[in-house]
Amino acid sequence: MRIILLLLSVLTVSAQDIYIHAGKIYDTNSGKLSSKKTIIISDNKIKSIENGYKEASDVDIKIYDLKSKVVMPGLIDFHVHIEGESGGPERYISRFQDNKADVAFKSSVIAKKTLMAGFTTVRDVGGSGVNISLRNAINSGVVPGPRIFTSGKTIATTGGHGDRTNGLRDDFVDDPGPEQGVVNSIADARKAVRYRYKNGADLIKITATGGVMSLAKNGQNPQFTEEVIREIVKTADDYGMHVAAHAHGDEGMFRAVNAGVTTIEHGSIMADRTMRLMKEKQTYLVPTISAGEHVAKMARIPGYYPEIIIPKAIEVGVQNKATTKKAFQMGVPIAFGTDAGVYPHGDNAGEFLYMDEIGIPAEYSIKSATITNAKLLNMENMLGQIKKGFYADIIAVHKSPTDDISTLKDVIFVMKNGKVYKN
Using one digit for the tens of pLDDT, what is the confidence trace for 363-375?
999 999 999 999 9
| Residue 33 DSSP SS3 | strand
What are the structural domains, with CATH classification, of the chain? 2-73+386-422 (2.30.40.10), 75-376 (3.20.20.140)
Task: Round to the nearest angstrom and report the end-to-end CA distance of the chain.
Answer: 40
pLDDT of residue 16: 59
Structure-model confidence comparison of residues 401 and 212, the more confident one: 401
pLDDT of residue 123: 98
pLDDT of residue 174: 67
- DSSP-assigned letters across all residues of 122-159: EEE---SSHHHHHHHHHHTTSS---EEEE--SPBB-TT
Tell me the average pLDDT across 276-282: 98
Is the pTM higher than 0.95? The answer reads no
Using one digit for the tens of pLDDT, what is the confidence trace for 412-421?
999 999 999 9
| Residue 76 DSSP SS3 | strand
pLDDT of residue 35: 98
Using one digit for the tens of pLDDT, what is the confidence trace for 309-327?
888 788 777 788 999 999 9
pLDDT of residue 171: 61
Tell me the average pLDDT across 155-175: 71
Instruction: Tell me: pLDDT of 8 over 80.
Output: no
Distance CA 192, CA 199 (A): 11
Using one digit for the tens of pLDDT, what is the confidence trace for 50-76?
999 999 878 789 999 999 999 999 999
